[in-house]
């Protein structure tokens, strides 16, 4: 590990807005934030651009960036501290352990912004909008909660739409090209590090907002996997 990363890891251990693999948090986030405002998660938050950006837009809501890479979390956590955003914090952990940190219905919204699309067919279950993950989110989302996906990967966008269709989820908003949409809300104008890089080379950003239902039947997973196996890849993305 490089010296810069070591320094950042040491620093985030002292940040009051960073929790690393915390215990005893389900049901206790109101005490942590010192208010009972709704909680929004940014999963695979990287440098936390969305957690910080949303925190500025909505001071009466709480935002948590979740990622495993502490050197990236350091960027967003430090910015939130510098800007006095007491409604923004970060949790360093694996996303597949997300149910360890929240009680049922404790989360209002989830943002998934420019995640690794995991394009290999053998890795489709690692896509953050795969039902394997959606079932975890369902355990912590409120009944009226929903999920946002913002991605420049046409493959992840199409995959998620297929998931919504197959599992009869509630599609609330579908914007195929955010840049071409003239009535974009302020939330979609936040730009992440990866968005600026245009890794997919598509020059398009896709957006979906959807709600979960009780219909995430695992029996359908095979049908989804067969669809992935037969669907041609539109773009190749590389993440460091």
Q: How many residues does the chain have?
A: 240
**116 an active-site residue?**
yes
Active-site position among 96, 100, 116, 124: 116
Query: Encoding tokens for residue 47?
Result: 């440098």
For residue 77, give the nearest of 98, 100, 46, 31 by alpha carbon. Answer: 46
Strand partners, 170: 211
> Which tokens sit at 165?
């269709």
Positions marked catalytic = 116
């Amino acid at each position: 590990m490089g010296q810069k990363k070591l320094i950042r890891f040491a620093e985030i251990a002292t940040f009051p807005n960073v929790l690393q693999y915390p215990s005893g948090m389900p049901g206790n986030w109101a005490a942590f934030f010192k208010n009972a405002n709704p909680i929004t998660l940014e999963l695979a938050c990287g440098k936390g651009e969305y957690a910080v950006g949303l925190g500025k837009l909505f001071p009466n809501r709480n935002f948590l960036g979740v990622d495993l890479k502490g050197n990236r979390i350091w960027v967003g956590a430090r910015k939130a501290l510098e800007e006095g955003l007491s409604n923004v914090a970060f949790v360093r952990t694996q996303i597949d352990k997300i149910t360890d940190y929240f009680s049922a219905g404790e989360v209002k919204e989830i943002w998934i912004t420019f995640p690794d699309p995991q394009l290999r067919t053998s890795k489709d279950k690692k896509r953050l909008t795969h039902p394997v993950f959606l079932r975890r989110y369902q355990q912590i989302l409120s009944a009226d909660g929903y999920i946002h996906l913002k991605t420049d990967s046409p493959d992840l966008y199409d995959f998620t739409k297929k998931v919504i269709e197959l599992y009869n989820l509630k599609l609330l908003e579908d914007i195929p090209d955010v840049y071409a949409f003239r009535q974009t809300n302020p939330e979609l104008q936040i730009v992440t590090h990866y968005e600026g890089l245009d890794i997919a080379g598509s020059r398009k950003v896709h957006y979906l907002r959807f709600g979960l239902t009780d219909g995430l039947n695992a029996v359908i997973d095979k049908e989804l996997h067969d669809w992935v196996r037969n669907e041609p890849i539109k773009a190749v993305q590389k993440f460091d």
